[in-house]
Structure formats: structure tokens, C-alpha cells
Amino acid sequence: MGRGRAKAKQTKVARELKYRSVSTDFSSLERELRSPSDEIPDQYADLAEVYVDDADELADDDEEDDESDESWPLRRSG
């Protein structure tokens, strides 16, 4: 019980979203998404450095895995 009421509410919300006319302020959105600079704040610099190092290590590991996979046969004989 109660599923009918929940479904009716979801249908109502979906209709509102579908048929509501909304004017989007794209210039405001652009300002929000655009970063004034690509610099990392000092408080996050050490954390960002760790992530960059980890990403480099993962990329190196993936390259090694790709090279070793080439030696495996595509089909196994059975």
C-alpha cells in the first residue's frame, strides 16, 4: 500500500519538469562554471600532488599491463 500515492507524486513531478517553461541564464551558468584561474589553492596543493602522483603510477601500471597482454594467445586450444 502507498505505492499508488508515491507513483502519483512522481508522475506529477515528472509532468512539471516536462512542461514547465524555464528560462536558463546561460551567462550566469558560464560564470559559475568558469574558473578565474586554474591554480590550485594552497590548502589543497599537497593533496593534489598526491593524486597526480597516484594517477601517474596508475598510468605506468596500465602501460605495463598492456605490453604483457600481447604475449597471451587470443584463443586457447582445448
Q: Would you kindly state where each structural domain of the chain is located, as residue ranges?
A: 41-70
Looking at residue 9, its pLDDT comes to 93
Query: In sequence order, what are the residues at sequence separation of 6 or more whose Cβ sits closer than 8 angstroms to the Cβ of residue 14?
Result: none
Among the listed residues 9, 6, 27, the one whose alpha carbon sits nearest the alpha carbon of residue 17: 9
Looking at residue 26, its pLDDT comes to 84
Looking at residue 10, its pLDDT comes to 93
- The yes-or-no verdict on residue 4 having pLDDT over 70 is yes
Among the listed residues 19, 27, 61, 16, the one whose alpha carbon sits nearest the alpha carbon of residue 8: 16
Reported as a single tens digit per residue, the pLDDT across 5-58 is 999 999 999 998 888 877 888 888 887 777 666 677 788 888 878 887 777 777
Looking at residue 36, its pLDDT comes to 66
Looking at residue 17, its pLDDT comes to 85
